[in-house]
Amino acid sequence: MDTPRSSASHSGKGAHRQVESEAYMSAKANGRPVLCEFSQCPGKPANLIDRVRNVIGLITGALITDNANVTVTQLGDGRVVCLSQSTKSTILIDPDSLGTMGRFRYTDGLSSMLQSRHPIMNESEFLTLLLDLVRSGYLVVRMEAGSSERKVIGRVDCRGGPMPGWMHSFAVTEKYVVVPEMPLQYSASNMLKSEPALFYAFDWLPESGIYMHVASVEVPPFMTFHFINAYEEKADEDGQATTVIVDCCEYYADPTMIQTLLLHKLRSGTNKDELPDSRVGRFRIPLDGTPSGELQSVLDPEEHGRGIDMCNINPSCLGKKYRYIYA
């Protein structure tokens, strides 16, 4: 979990503060989480009225968390926000005091309740993906620096089932937005029943098909939290892109990585060295109409101890061919 931190250079000390979200304040008041978190349901319905109340709360977003516990980032105009999976978890903070300033209010009227936990930003724009749980797809949206209005610049319909796949992050090249469709799909039935599925809010359904949407090709099964970078591979003759290369921290299509992050397992001390193996996975996405892409290990896993994640690159290489990652 990312908690906002500031550095007081004159004293050599750092500081951190908890974002005072609705989820945090209500959990503090009740002694337990009361909203739907990533791995937390508000409680099994005791009767039909409770079930109806929970369904209404999920549809309206009232029961969905605003716990901004994944990303802390600065927008192009200097505003600093914390955010997570729900769109209402985008919260403004004061970068000097780390005080919570309130919810970031989008002015566009887009109704999606879920978003990528890792948007892509530069000095001029903010790019992210919004999930469409009704029509099973993803909206690609752009917000200019200084604005609070997201504009839809594209849409991808899911090919692998009636519900979208989980999408923690995504990638961009200089010309393309790369939209992943993993087989870890939202479970509509469990969400409506306020009961956890096998993987919290998700089912693992590799038989439904796995896709990478640039030219919308089918790819081998994969499991990832974080994409590293993407770029276009160009032909020598005319300089046109023939392939999109997409790199990520990939867990050999093993969704149990999610379960190993349970707090009681991490705190028990028995989970040492039990994290699933990971690698730098590289997708090769053809742009010539070929229906399938490839997934390979781009590095020998022994070079990084068969465990790698939370990668960074030189920001100037975003969307371009690059040589180094820092993890």
Helix runs in the chain, H state only: 22-30, 48-60, 188-193, 263-268
**Euclidean distance between CA atoms 4 and 147, whole angstroms:** 23
Parse the chain into domains and list their residue ranges: 1-7+14-157, 158-327
Strand partners, 45: none
213 is in an annotated binding site: no
Q: What is the pLDDT of residue 1?
A: 41
Q: What are phi and psi of 87, to 5 degrees?
A: -65, -30
Neighbouring CB atoms inside 10 A of 236's CB total 6
The dihedral sign for the CA sequence 251, 224, 91, 79: positive
Q: What is the pLDDT of residue 325?
A: 92
Written as tens digits, the pLDDT of the chain (327 aa) is 445 554 444 455 667 888 999 988 988 998 888 887 777 766 666 777 777 777 777 667 777 889 898 899 999 999 999 999 899 999 999 999 999 999 999 999 898 989 999 999 989 999 999 999 889 999 999 999 999 999 999 999 999 888 899 999 999 999 999 999 999 988 877 766 666 677 777 889 899 889 999 988 999 999 999 999 999 998 766 778 999 999 999 999 999 888 888 777 777 766 566 778 999 999 999 999 999 999 999 988 888 888 899 899 999 999 999 999 998
Q: What is the pLDDT of residue 128?
A: 97
Closest C-alpha among 66, 67, 68, 109 to residue 88: 66
Neighbouring CB atoms inside 10 A of 175's CB total 11
**Which residues in 50-71 are b (16+ Cβ under 10 Å) and which e?**
eeebbbebbeebebbbbbbbbb
Q: What is the pLDDT of residue 134?
A: 86
Instruction: Please provide the size of the chain in residues.
Output: 327
Q: What is the pLDDT of residue 273?
A: 63
Closest C-alpha among 192, 187, 154, 149 to residue 170: 154
Q: What is the pLDDT of residue 12?
A: 54
pTM of the model: 0.87
Closest C-alpha among 225, 230, 283, 212 to residue 251: 225
Helix runs in 198-286, H state only: 263-268
304 is in an annotated binding site: no
Estimate to the nearest angstrom the gap between the alpha carbon of 236 and the chain centroid: 35
Closest C-alpha among 172, 131, 181 to residue 155: 131
Q: Which helix (H) or strand (E) holds 294?
A: strand 294-297
**CB-based contact 106:150 (threshold 8 Å):** yes
